[in-house]
Amino acid sequence: MNDTEELAHAVAEARAYVMWATDAGLCILKSDSSADNEELMRAPGNQPASKAEGHTVLVQESALHKDAAAPGKPGLPTLASVRAEMGECTRCKLHKCRNQIVFGVGSAQARLVFVGEAPGEDEDLSGEPFVGKAGQLLTKMIEAMGLSRDTVYICNTVKCRPPNNRNPEPDELESCEPFLKGQLKALQAEVIVTLGRFAAQALLRDQTPISRLRGIWREYEGVALMPTFHPAYLLRSPGEKAKVWGDLQEVMKKLGLRK
């Protein structure tokens, strides 16, 4: 990258962070006319931010890719083989009302995987997870980490849209579980972030409420797992965004990503 590209990259990342953080109520961008500068400040009611907290996240995206040339581990499935095994799935009743299976998106080399709940209407129509309003917020969260959707992997616990976006039912979760497990096995990521109750409870086999699960490192088959709130919940309860940002900062630390 030359200097101009590097600067453009840094500005794009700074913008993404400020968009998410401002949205999150973590900080507001305030113009100080006397000093003619802009300062990141805590919104009223929040704790004062340290400089490190308030400032831009700068991460090299390459830091998020495993060595693309590294051979896959023998005996492990690939994303393609898991998808092929799923086929035009009719294992549960969700197949009757879906438009399409929403398998997952992102890099097969990702070190970081986000697991959500189930596709909504926008995802069912587009075939890509997290593209609706909650998805746009997830994208901002990822970008605030200095990353992009292309360098991580994003999927759901259940691959077909439940009618009217109702919660997935136990038989549906059970039918789809082997495919989520297969994806995680294929990816061999270093960190899994579960978004919301269903993903955390499905992978951890733990019925503890998400409000108590979130923010505490767990392990799924030897992989570090951070449960956090679902972005759809954050859209309803924006005051909780600071907690999620704290969880994501833990993830960045674990992955050795620069803030």
Tokens for 36? 């003619």
DSSP code per residue over 111-172: SEEEEES---HHHHHHS-SS-SHHHHHHHHHHHHTT--TTTSEEEESSSSPPGGGPPPPHHH
Pick the binder of ligand URA from 134, 176, 191, 193 (CB under 6 A): 134
Pick the binder of ligand URA from 25, 116, 168, 227 (CB under 6 A): 116
- List the interface residues with ligand URA, window 64-93 (CB under 6 A): none
Nearer to ligand URA among residue 114 and residue 257 (C-beta)? 114
Nearer to ligand URA among residue 77 and residue 120 (C-beta)? 120
Per rule CB under 6 A, is residue 115 in the interface with ligand URA? no
Least separation in angstroms between CB 128 and ligand URA: 8
Pick the binder of ligand URA from 77, 104, 106, 119 (CB under 6 A): 119
- List the interface residues with ligand URA, window 223-242 (CB under 6 A): 232
Q: Which stretch binds ligand URA (CB under 6 A): 47-55, 132-140, 143-151, 182-190?
A: 132-140
Specify which residues 193 forms β-bridges with. Answer: 114, 226
Nearer to ligand URA among residue 18 and residue 92 (C-beta)? 92
Question: Using CB under 6 A as the criterion, which residues of the chain lie in contact with ligand URA when the complex forms?
Answer: 116-120, 123, 129-130, 132, 134-135, 156, 232
